[in-house]
Amino acid sequence: MSMADLLVIITDVLLRTVVVMYFPRSFLNITPVCSTNIVVAVAATLISVWFTVAFTLDRFLAICYQNVKAKYCTERTATVIMGIVTVFSCLISVPWYFTVEPEYNIDNTPRGCVWKQTFFNLTSWASFELLMYTLVVGFPFFLLLLINSLTARHILVSARVRKVLLGRNIGDNDKDREMGSRRKSVVLLFCLSGSFILLWSTYVAYVLSERIFGIPYVNGSDLESVAIMLQVLSTCTNTAIYVLTQNKFREQMKIAVTYPIYLIVNLVKRKHAC
């Protein structure tokens, strides 16, 4: 998940936006390279979203179905699923290469990428775009909401059973660390679904306004910039929410941050010793 999100940042933010904007004569602005980068950016977004869905499903099975955890929640199964998602995302993203055309020419070299007029006029392209947003937003959001709801329901039912087994009434105010942890898990699950739909809603509304109501895209507008920013941000929030709430990850993060400092200190000590 983290690598997929990092790939989105590199391709969609750095290569597709920053480099092209501030270095227009870069080879990355050559139309074939630019078109390829669009395909990679779309594929990375698909991979990021579906890795999040796969991870959510894995947690659902691990929490709600302990009997299948040992069989399906394994490294081998995860590798197979990640491979299938990656290949499928790359293949279905290839048509995006043919949706753009050169914006201008320099020394007989096509540069820049602008949407072809046929991309807006042909029904086939409109259907393809609708399919893509169904795969990127609609279906994943439905699955995330469904899986997280089922997981939250299981946690709440288990919490009630735990209270009964501990001899406590539902309205008892006694503190229970396990109960507090489960409440946080429920909030976490719905934060994931909520952040996903909220961050994607502006971009989807922006695109559908052109397709349904005929409002043309306004390149470089403030709305476009905000919509793209939130859409790119959505590929990072779920991973951040998942991992930053894990104690082991925070411990490893501290080690990763302090390790270079540790090396520098040791190097300085060795120089002084010599």
Three-class secondary structure assignment of 229-273: HHHHHHHHHHHHHHHHCCHHHHHHHHHHHHHHHHHHHHHHHHHHH
Cα dist from 258 to 92, 115, 265, 270, whole Å: 42, 47, 11, 18
Domain boundaries, the chain: 2-250
Residue 214 phi, psi dihedral angles, 5° rounding: 75, 15
DSSP 8-state secondary structure symbol assigned to residue 73:
S
Q: Report the pLDDT value the prediction gives residue 248, as an integer from 0 to 100.
A: 65
Which of 83, 92, 108 has the alpha carbon at shortest distance from 43?
92
Cα dist from 106 to 22, 30, 69, 109, 203, whole Å: 17, 10, 58, 5, 32
Architecture of domain 2-250: Up-down Bundle (1.20)
Query: Could you tell me the two tokens for 151?
Result: 């997981």
Give the C-alpha separation, 101 to 116, whole Å. Answer: 6
- Local confidence pLDDT in tens for the 274 residues of the chain: 767 777 887 887 787 777 777 777 788 888 898 899 889 988 988 988 888 888 888 878 877 777 777 777 777 888 888 899 999 999 999 999 999 888 888 778 888 888 888 887 888 888 888 888 888 888 888 888 888 888 878 877 877 776 777 665 545 444 556 566 666 666 776 777 777 777 777 777 777 776 666 555 545 556 767 777 787 777 777 666 666 666 666 677 677 778 788 888 888 777 766 6
Q: Report the pLDDT value the prediction gives residue 117, as an integer from 0 to 100.
A: 84
E strand or H helix at 114? strand 114-115
Rounded to an integer, what is the distance from CA 124 to the centroid of its chain? 27
Give the C-alpha separation, 226 to 139, whole Å. Answer: 23
Q: Which residues contact 5 (CB under 8 A, 6 or more apart)?
A: 48, 235, 236, 239
pTM for the full predicted model: 0.75
Q: Report the pLDDT value the prediction gives residue 155, as an integer from 0 to 100.
A: 78
Q: Report the pLDDT value the prediction gives residue 142, as an integer from 0 to 100.
A: 87
